[in-house]
Amino acid sequence: MSFLKTYQLKEKYKIIVDFFQEFLFIRRSLHVIGISLIFSLLIIQFAVPEFYVASTLREAESSNQQSISAGGLASELLLGTTDSDSGNFGTFKANMHSYALAQRMWEQGWGSRVFGNGDESIEYFNSIPKKHKVLDRISSFFLGYELFEFYSAHDLQSYIKGNYQLSKTRGEENITVFTMTPNKEFAISFMNAVILETDKYAKTRLIQKSNEVISASYKQLASSRNSSISSAIATTINSEYFKIANLENDMPYHIYIIDPPHSSEYPISPNFVAIIFSNLIIFLFVSILFLFVTKNKEDLW
């Protein structure tokens, strides 16, 4: 046990005990604890509770996902790399955060519910006055540019991109759409509308693409003199008509809703225990530091 004596554990332990008895286990610490509790309760009282709203989706299978090239398969097996933003998930994420989706949501009156009083008349939600920060107004005045007077679909796009996120675990097909919000009822209805409208928008785009391919194919078919080429064009036309028949229905295309949007029972923020515990540590640390500096200021300076 001689090696323990070299560390002088008893002396160090006595120094620590003396330090706590002199700076922590005193009446002043009780006052500090009381002040920290009051301060924490004030923070909690004025904080806005935020709930976690989420929906679980299932990525639908597609022919693009099933047909993997040999090089791509070898890359995944050897390097273990997969693109989490590829396939239906990548398409769904891009469509959900696109301006086109925001425009469709805006035309349905969601801009009024987000930025206005909920009036869905076209005259109102196209003329909702936009609120600008004082610094933005000052900056525009000195730099000589104009601020937008009314909210638009671009603002709704920024709102969706900033508040409604998507995540997907590597190797799984489940997609989670989530947000943190103080108004869980509105977030549930808005998230559900965004998910459904995103899938409808994807189907609309594919139907438009198929119609364009059919139209161009008929023109080529009318001018073609080669029987094999005509046969290939006819096959393409039939294939595009088959796509349209599969898309013109109410069934989801890119995703399936496993769990509809739902909110947590209790708010995620503010964290009652974390606020009280962190403030208690901070106040005690500041109190000990102040008392230590006061008692040893002659030795420190």
Tokens at 157, concatenated: 């796009």
Do 257 and 146 fall into the same domain?
yes
Domain co-membership, 234 together with 197:
yes
Verify that 188 and 237 share a domain, yes or no: yes
- pLDDT level of residue 8 (50, 70, 90 thresholds): low
Map residue 86 onto helix, strand or coil: coil
At 229-276, the pLDDT tens digits run: 889 999 999 999 998 988 888 888 888 899 999 999 999 988 888 999
Size of the chain in residues: 301
Query: Which residue type occupies 142?
Result: F
Q: Is the whole model's pTM more than 0.85, yes or no?
A: no
pLDDT at 101: 96
Q: Read off φ and ψ for residue 163, nearest 5 degrees.
A: -115, -25
Is there a single domain that holds both residue 111 and residue 95? yes
Q: Which residue has the higher pLDDT, 74 or 8?
A: 8
**How large a percentage of the chain has pLDDT more than 90?**
45
Q: Could you list the residue range(s) of the whole structural domain that residue 66 is in?
A: 53-263
Tell me: do 137 and 279 sit in the same domain.
no
- What are the strands, taking DSSP E only, across the chain? 51-59, 165-168, 174-181, 255-263
pLDDT at 120: 82
Q: Higher confidence at residue 291 or residue 177?
A: 177
Q: Taking 70 as the threshold, does the pLDDT of residue 85 lie above it?
A: no
Higher pLDDT, 7 or 67: 7
* pLDDT at residue number 53: 96
Of the candidates 101, 104, 80, the one whose C-alpha atom is nearest the C-alpha of residue 91 is 101
Question: Do 108 and 206 lie in a common domain?
Answer: yes
What does the mean pLDDT of the chain come to? 83
- One domain for residues 66 and 196: yes
Residue, of 69 and 118, whose pLDDT is higher: 118
Number of domains in the chain: 2
Say if CB 40 and CB 276 are below 8 A apart.
yes
- Report pLDDT for 121: 85
Q: Is 56 helix (H, G, I), strand (E, B) or coil?
A: strand
For 191-227, write each residue's pLDDT tens digit.
999 999 999 999 999 999 999 999 999 998 888 888 8
Contact in structure between 36 and 279 (CB atoms under 8 Å): yes
CB 64 within 8 A of CB 87: yes
Q: Which of 206, 188, 158 is nearest to 60 (CA)?
A: 206
Q: Does residue 12 share a domain with residue 155?
A: no
Question: In this model, does residue 277 exceed pLDDT 70?
Answer: yes
Same domain, 253 and 279: no
Contact 92, 202 (CB under 8 A): yes
* Residues 41 and 128 occupy one common structural domain: no
pLDDT band at 80 (very low <50, low <70, confident <90, very high): very low
Residues 98 and 211 in one domain: yes
What is the separation of C-alpha 212 from the centre of its chain, rounded to a whole number of angstroms?
35
Higher pLDDT among residues 172 and 274, named by residue: 274
Contacting residues for 127 by C-beta, under 8 A, at least 6 apart = 150
Answer yes or no: do 245 and 117 share one domain.
yes
Burial of 116 (0-12, 13-18, 19+ CB in 10 A): middle
Residue 155 has a pLDDT of: 95
Tens digits of residue pLDDT in 23-52: 777 777 888 888 999 999 998 888 899 999
Q: How far is CA 6 from CA 3, 14, 15, 18, 217, in A?
A: 5, 16, 16, 21, 91
Digit-coded pLDDT (tens) for 53-66: 999 998 876 544 43
SS (H, E, C) 147-203: CCCECCHHHHHHHHHHHCEEEECCCCCEEEEEEEECCHHHHHHHHHHHHHHHHHHHH
